[in-house]
Amino acid sequence: MIDRRDLVVVGGGPAGIAAAAISAREGRSVSLFERGDPSAFRVGETLGAEVGARLKELGAYEAMAPILGEQARFITVSSAWGSDELEERSTMFHPLGAGWHVDRSRFDRGLLEWSRSQGVHVQTDTGLCTVTPDGEGFLVKPRRGRETWGRRLIDASGRGAPATAAFPGRRWLAHDRQVAILARMTPKGPTDPGPGLYLEAVEEGFWYSARMADGTFIAVLLTDSDVLLTLGRSRDERFQRAFARTRFTAPRTRGFELMGRPQVFRSDSGRLIPDRGAGWRAVGDAAMATDPLGGNGVARSLKSALEAAASLDAPFDRARAEQRFSDYLDQRTEFYWLEHRWPDAPFWARRRPVDLDGRPFDWKTVDLALAPDATLSWRATPPPGAEAWLPRAALDALRAATTTPAAAHEAMSAMSVVAPIGNRRLLVGMQWLLVAGALEQVA
Q: Does 11 bind ligand FAD (CB under 6 A)?
A: yes
Q: Which of 7, 8, 9, 14 binds ligand FAD (CB under 6 A)?
A: 14
Smallest separation, CB 367 to ligand FAD (Å): 37
Residues 301-330 touching ligand FAD, rule: CB under 6 A, are 301
Q: Which of 8, 12, 120, 207 binds ligand FAD (CB under 6 A)?
A: 12
Q: Which is nearer to ligand FAD, 77 or 430 (CB)?
A: 77
Smallest separation, CB 220 to ligand FAD (Å): 5
Q: Does 46 bind ligand FAD (CB under 6 A)?
A: yes
Q: Does 150 bind ligand FAD (CB under 6 A)?
A: no
Q: Which of 21, 183, 298, 309 binds ligand FAD (CB under 6 A)?
A: 298
| Interface segment toward ligand FAD; rule CB under 6 A; list 183-191, 289-297, 334-342, 349-357 | 289-297
Q: Edge-to-edge strands of the sheet including 375-378?
A: 406-407, 375-378, 439-441
Smallest separation, CB 23 to ligand FAD (Å): 15
CB 339 within 8 A of CB 204: no
φ, ψ at 50 (rounded to 5°): -55, -30
Smallest separation, CB 17 to ligand FAD (Å): 7
Q: Does 158 bind ligand FAD (CB under 6 A)?
A: yes
Q: Distance between CA atoms of 436 and 154, rounded to whole angstroms?
A: 43
| Interface segment toward ligand FAD; rule CB under 6 A; list 85-93, 278-286, 407-415, 418-426 | 278-286
Q: What's the number of CA atoms in the CB half-sphere (13 Å) around residue 205?
A: 26
Smallest separation, CB 112 to ligand FAD (Å): 10
- DSSP per residue, 214-277: TS-EEEEEEEEHHHHHTT-SSHHHHHHHHHHT-SSHHHHTTTEEE-S--EEEE---EEEESSEE
Smallest separation, CB 422 to ligand FAD (Å): 23
Q: Which is nearer to ligand FAD, 111 or 415 (CB)?
A: 111
Smallest separation, CB 12 to ligand FAD (Å): 5
Q: Does 285 bind ligand FAD (CB under 6 A)?
A: yes
Strand ranges, E, within 283-421: 288-289, 375-378, 406-407
Smallest separation, CB 160 to ligand FAD (Å): 9
Q: Which is nearer to ligand FAD, 304 or 402 (CB)?
A: 304
Q: Does 13 bind ligand FAD (CB under 6 A)?
A: yes
| CA 2 centroid distance within chain | 34
Q: Does 15 bind ligand FAD (CB under 6 A)?
A: yes
> Rounded to 5 degrees, what angle do the CA atoms 376, 379, 380 make?
140
CB 157 within 8 A of CB 130: no
> Among 271, 272, 273, 267, which Cα is nearest to 291's?
267
# of chain residues touching ligand FAD (CB under 6 A):
38
Smallest separation, CB 306 to ligand FAD (Å): 13
- DSSP per residue, 226-241: HHHHTT-SSHHHHHHH
| Interface segment toward ligand FAD; rule CB under 6 A; list 30-38, 357-365, 366-374, 382-390 | 30-38
Q: Does 220 bind ligand FAD (CB under 6 A)?
A: yes
Q: Which of 292, 346, 382, 391 binds ligand FAD (CB under 6 A)?
A: 292
* 76-80 vs 197-202, strand pairing mode: parallel
What single-letter amino acid sits at 289? A
Residues 88-127 touching ligand FAD, rule: CB under 6 A, are 126
Q: Does 180 bind ligand FAD (CB under 6 A)?
A: yes
User: DSSP character for 50?
Assistant: H
CA-to-CA dists, residue 16 to 10, 325, 366, angstroms: 7, 21, 41
3-class secondary structure, 329: helix
User: DSSP character for 427?
Assistant: H
User: DSSP character for 356?
Assistant: T
Q: Distance between CA atoms of 179 and 173, rounded to whole angstroms?
A: 16
Q: Does 145 bind ligand FAD (CB under 6 A)?
A: no
**Roughly what angle, to the nearest 10 degrees, separates helices 392-402 and 423-436?**
60
CA-to-CA dists, residue 187 to 40, 209, 215, 258, angstroms: 21, 15, 7, 9
3-class secondary structure, 106: helix
CB 293 within 8 A of CB 222: yes
Q: Does 218 bind ligand FAD (CB under 6 A)?
A: no
Q: Does 213 bind ligand FAD (CB under 6 A)?
A: no
Residue ranges that bind ligand FAD, judged by CB under 6 A = 10-16, 33-36, 43-47, 126, 128-129, 156-158, 162-163, 180, 220, 265, 267, 284-286, 292, 295-299, 301
